[in-house]
Amino acid sequence: MLLGKKRLVQLATCSECGKEFRTVGALRQHYSSKHAGTAPPQNLAGNGMEKRRKSGRRHNGRGGTNRRLILTFGVVALLVAIGAGALVLYHGHSADAPTERTPPKAVTGIYAGDKAPNMPLYLTNGTPTSLSSFQGHTVLVWIIATWCPGCQETAPIIASHYYSQLRSEGVILVTVEDYNDLGYSGPTMVQFASKYAGGAGNYPGWFFADTSQSATYTYNPQADLDIWYLISPSGTVVTSGLNLGTTIQSAISAANNLQPATA
């Protein structure tokens, strides 16, 4: 017997001279060269041991694999159990804790349902004010370029046909000149009101004003010549449109829907 690294190995022995060999192949080669006239025994020493040793290796390999699988499954099962326990604790804590709901914050913008951005207004009588000062009233903000032919045609039509209707709906009309008239030369707002709308101050509830550059960009991002917004008493954008002269009825209808129902 020899002591290997991991186990004892049985030697194959020559029956003629007693010499020992580590493998059956080496023993057979010995018989061929040293004992040519003698056939090696059928049951060579070490043959069975070698087979058992190889078989043992195979069994040991499967055993090691099985142990690794069992260990892996055990770790996975432990992690699942820990996760399930944490989830139960979390839900239990959440159920006991009071639920707090924060109301959604109003979005400031120029689309229907948005909170209308504030707008500085410089009235033709020299009074500075802002759009927020009209809160509590329905406001029709009409933003124009004073040199716009359509705006010049619409202003006298509003004065003669729609002013009384707007006032009966409780609507305040604020006509606002785009900042710097969108870069073109046109009449001042005082001149526009006087020439096309019967004069500023002659129609109660109809105001004429200039505004800032940032407000113009906010309310008129596409630099339209004639754009309007209907603002509710709470300061929310109700609806909007272009070319007030041809769409004013939709503004009046929307304003009418804001009025409280009467018996």
Mean of pLDDT over the chain = 82
Report the topology of domain 120-258: Glutaredoxin (3.40.30)
pLDDT in tens, 186-242: 999 999 999 999 988 899 999 999 999 999 999 999 999 999 999 999 999 999 999
* SS3 assignment for the chain: CEECCCCEECCEECCCCCCEECCHHHHHHHHHHHCCCCCCCCCCCCHHHHHHHHHHHHHHHHHHHHHHHHHHHHHHHHHHHHHHHHHHHHHHHHHHCCCCCCCCCCCECCCCCCECCCCEEEECCCCEEEHHHHCCCEEEEEEECCCCHHHHHHHHHHHHHHHHHHHHCCEEEEEEECHHHHHCCCCCHHHHHHHHCCCCCCCCCEEEEECCHHHHHHHCCCCCCEEEEEECCCCEEEEEEECHHHHHHHHHHHHHHHCCCCC
Other CB atoms within a 10 A radius of the CB of residue 49 amount to: 16
Domain extents for the chain?
2-76, 120-258
**Residue 258's pLDDT is what?**
87
pLDDT in tens, 8-52: 445 677 777 877 777 777 777 777 777 777 777 766 544 444 444
Determine the Cα–Cα distance for residues 158 and 249; give it in Å rounded to an integer: 11
Residue 216 sits at φ, ψ, to 5 deg, of -65, -45
Of 46-50, 70-74, 85-89, the range with the lowest mean pLDDT is 46-50
Q: Which residues contact 234 (CB under 8 A, 6 or more apart)?
A: 135
* Rg of the chain on CA atoms, in Å: 49
Evaluated on CA atoms 94, 97, 98, 103, the torsion sign reads negative
